[in-house]
Structure 1
Amino acid sequence: MHSHANEGANGIGSSVGGSTEGKIRCIFLSEFHATAGCKISCQVPDNYISKEVFDAINVYIIPKQHLQRCILTVNTMDVKIVGYPVDIQDQQKYARNAFLFNLCFVCDSRARSVQYEPVVKKLSEYLIMMEEESCFLSREDDKVRLQNIFETVLRDLNERKVATIVEGDNTIYLKIVMHKPDPPSVKDHMVPLLLVNFRNKPLENWDLTTQQILPYINGINHVARIAAEADVETDLVKSCIQNLVYYGVVQLLPILKYSNVYMTQNLKHLIQSTALSNACRKYVALNPDKTLPSVQKIFQFYASMTHGVTLRAICQRLCPQNHNIDERKLVIFGLQHKFIRCIHKYPVFTGSVPSCRQKMYTGLISFDEICCKTGLSPYTIEKDIEKDTNVTVIWK
């Protein structure tokens, strides 16, 4: 069972948006004492969770029986508390026939906390074992040892994301595993580019599907073309590329066409970083044996990219090949390092009864995707739309 109790300004169930990565601010152990009731018995750093805050939320820290041994997250008063409440039953050992406790990690209220949940559970299970073996938690004289454990875990997990605890014959290893969000679904018109760190990796080191499609991944071929040329089923290619994107091996780019319009952004980084500008000069060189293109010429090319100006028009004006610049590689490098972005065109049908192709003109499907789905060239689609008074084109 996996439960979350999120308490926000409006009470239980309200959510807090805009989560960010954040450190563990505090670790504490709460227990239900036979006479004192619900209390914090050990906390690092001391008094991070005040008595007032704890008294307001302790009903969620030591909850009812049906919420035992599952992750509970309480979000309130600018803190997020991740716990794993435990109820150890033993009529001989404990005054109320049971020992109730909860090990909790505390983060900022907007911090992402899901990566801490397995660690909280594992550390709690370790403390259960220690308690059952030697009453490690319920004996008052062991609180200093527990505080030392919490200090080690807090420091090491925040600094190195790993921690090791040795108590007598017992050793526990804790590790924070960061879960990436799922990559976006890969579509036929998307263009994969193998990132530089993986370009020289031997082919036999990849799985079989990747081995088949890798020779066709060049930053220019789109997914549908890769599938056709590699003779691999399209859905298999999409799954493979999605996996490569997830692990940071491949980046997805828009189809490179001379009718495309690009806009500059963050161009100052090219000038500010000598390493980046040198890498760019090498990458975009039409002939690497000749004098490398100057940063000034490369910058001029990027700076010419603006709304309403096609790549074709820029090439006709600046003649990049006369300066040893491969304009296709220049675009790829710019997209990869986010110096430029492609302005996509989305046709919208505004008439009453759409034809088969006009049904795709929803404003949500780009030219590139329409070309891939229909098998028609961008020029054909362009001419079709220019003649159609019921179609408007959105650029974004």
Structure 2
Amino acid sequence: MIEGIFFARFLPQEGTKVVHQSPPGCVVPEPNVNKPRLFDFETMAEYIIPRQAFCNRYVTIICPDHKSCILGHPVCIFDEKYERNEFMFNFGLVIGVDVDKTPYEAVVRRLASTFTEMEIQNQFLSLEESESGKGRRSIAALLEIIKEDLNNYNECMIPVDDANTINMKLFPIYTPPPPVKSWHVPIAKMNFSTIIDDTWDLTMVRVIPHIDGIKDVRRIAHDAEISLPLTKLVLQHLLYYSSILMLDLFLFGSIYAPTPTLGDFMADKEGMQDECANYVYINGPRLSNYDLCRLFATLCTGRTLKEWLKLHLDQGLPILNHVDVRRFIQFGVIKGLIYRVHKYAVSSQYLASIVSGQNVAIKGGELLQKYADGMHCFDQITAENNMADHRIMDQLRKFPKGDVEIVYR
């Protein structure tokens, strides 16, 4: 959020001066305005209009109290028509020191370039108070509109005169998403059918109908008849904008374990237990919240989902009659209540060959040797080789006796 915006220029007789500011009194005192200033202008004046070596470039200034940050792009225009043959000015934005500055950089640069062009065209800034400047929209009014529109709508389009318009937009900056793997399962976070139209990318239009929370990336690519790299690119684009999230393959041979966040579920913070019930129940009488907590708490690192189901079935709780287990696990992972425990194969002979730099073929490991370095989980082996868990174990038993260890993490 923009806390303040100002226009400052260098006057040969007075030095650096704030000519306009919004809101009033946010940078320098104004008559009939009694409010605290965002920063001490006298201390920061030499940085707002700096030496020529720092002009015509984007600058950020942290205030000494570490509460505010000033974003500016000081400009110096050289021309004989100006006193001292130069005109220096700066449009600055004041934001909180903890606010992400990246989206505002383009706005500050656009302000500098737009008003530089307007100054070169008709001396819009330097002759503001002269007779030739009358009849135009004032800079003070422009600053107020820019601040309010960017804060409220993240964009502004302001006609200045017959030849110039200020167009700016704040674009959110997202962190790059993690790589999309072929064994990941995308889950939609919105209803794409309500927003998709004819202008969307054709590849994305073919991929989106297959995002159902069940199919993995490899299967989506196959069913949509699109190459796997293109499918990953589409899903990474959706992941970048937080339109989907990625989970692991759901297999009954998988292992899940609780996290410390499970305590929030036990305490029913923000109604998580009812939210879970509405998401996972399929039919029959509703299980008690105690049973829901017990289901999560009995997941552990030494127990597969198949063994977990059998445990509760032996105790008289037929989970499959009441709960969609896949959605139950998805809910726990999405909320951070549980995490997936992956299985990795580690071959001591293969690791030794990697360390020595020799590509030694291990007897019996022709098919899975490249996966036996402890860096490839069983989900990857399943997706890339169409092998179930028991077939993977059968292949690993073909390695020399005692060579392969299974690591859970």
TM-score norm. by structure 1 comes to 0.76
Would the aligned equivalents of 1:348 and 1:362 in 2 still touch at CA under 8 Å? yes
Name the residue aligned to 1:312: 306
2:192 is aligned with 1:198: yes
Match of 1:54, SS state, is helix
2:251 is aligned with 1:257: yes
Name the residue aligned to 1:54: 44
| 1:167, distance to aligned residue in structure 2 (A) | 5.3
| 1:188, distance to aligned residue in structure 2 (A) | 1.0
Name the residue aligned to 1:335: 333
Change beyond 3 A, Cα 1:174–1:379: same
2:91 is aligned with 1:103: yes
**Residue by residue, what CA displacement relative to the aligned partner does 1:166-204 show, whole Å, maximum 9, x if unpaired?**
656665354322122232221111111223533677898
2:75 pairs, out of 62, 86, 94, with 86
Q: Distance in 2 between matches of 1:372 and 1:313?
A: 23
Larger Rg: 2
Higher mean alpha-carbon deviation, 369-378 vs 350-359, is at 350-359
Change beyond 3 A, Cα 1:36–1:160: same
Q: Distance in 2 between matches of 1:163 and 1:247?
A: 23
2:9 pairs, out of 31, 42, 57, with 31
Q: Distance in 2 between matches of 1:203 and 1:104?
A: 40
Letter in 1 for 2:334: Q
Q: Distance in 2 between matches of 1:151 and 1:237?
A: 45
Would the aligned equivalents of 1:213 and 1:227 in 2 still touch at CA under 8 Å? yes
2:274 is aligned with 1:285: no
2:72 is aligned with 1:72: no
Higher mean alpha-carbon deviation, 353-362 vs 108-117, is at 353-362
Match of 1:365, SS state, is strand
Change beyond 3 A, Cα 1:82–1:394: farther
Change beyond 3 A, Cα 1:364–1:28: farther
- Listed as ranges, the matches of 1:113-262 within 5 Å are 113-132=101-120, 135-138=123-126, 141=129, 146-147=139-140, 149-163=142-156, 165=158, 172-198=166-192, 207-262=201-256
Letter in 1 for 2:322: N
**Residue by residue, what CA displacement relative to the aligned partner does 1:344-377 show, whole Å, maximum 9, x if unpaired?**
2344444412646344334433221233234432
**Residue by residue, what CA displacement relative to the aligned partner does 1:270-329 show, whole Å, maximum 9, x if unpaired?**
83344x545533432344xx4455544333222222332221121111244454212122
Letter in 1 for 2:44: F
Would the aligned equivalents of 1:189 and 1:255 in 2 still touch at CA under 8 Å? yes
Match of 1:111, SS state, is coil
Name the residue aligned to 2:269: 272
| 1:113, distance to aligned residue in structure 2 (A) | 0.8
Name the residue aligned to 2:35: none
Letter in 2 for 1:88: I
Change beyond 3 A, Cα 1:201–1:313: farther
Name the residue aligned to 2:384: 373
2:356 is aligned with 1:353: no
**Residue by residue, what CA displacement relative to the aligned partner does 1:216-266 show, whole Å, maximum 9, x if unpaired?**
433222111222333321112111222222233322110111222213343
Higher mean alpha-carbon deviation, 338-347 vs 231-240, is at 338-347
Name the residue aligned to 1:14: none
Letter in 2 for 1:345: K
Would the aligned equivalents of 1:195 and 1:251 in 2 still touch at CA under 8 Å? yes
Q: Which runs of 4+ in 1 moved over 6 A?
A: 199-206
Would the aligned equivalents of 1:286 and 1:321 in 2 still touch at CA under 8 Å? no
2:297 pairs, out of 300, 303, 315, with 303
Change beyond 3 A, Cα 1:269–1:298: closer
Q: Distance in 2 between matches of 1:192 and 1:238?
A: 10
TM-score norm. by structure 2 comes to 0.74
Change beyond 3 A, Cα 1:203–1:307: farther
Change beyond 3 A, Cα 1:338–1:97: same
Letter in 1 for 2:84: R
Change beyond 3 A, Cα 1:146–1:269: farther
Letter in 1 for 2:326: R
Higher mean alpha-carbon deviation, 219-228 vs 376-385, is at 376-385
Would the aligned equivalents of 1:282 and 1:292 in 2 still touch at CA under 8 Å? no
Q: Distance in 1 between matches of 2:274 and 2:200?
A: 30
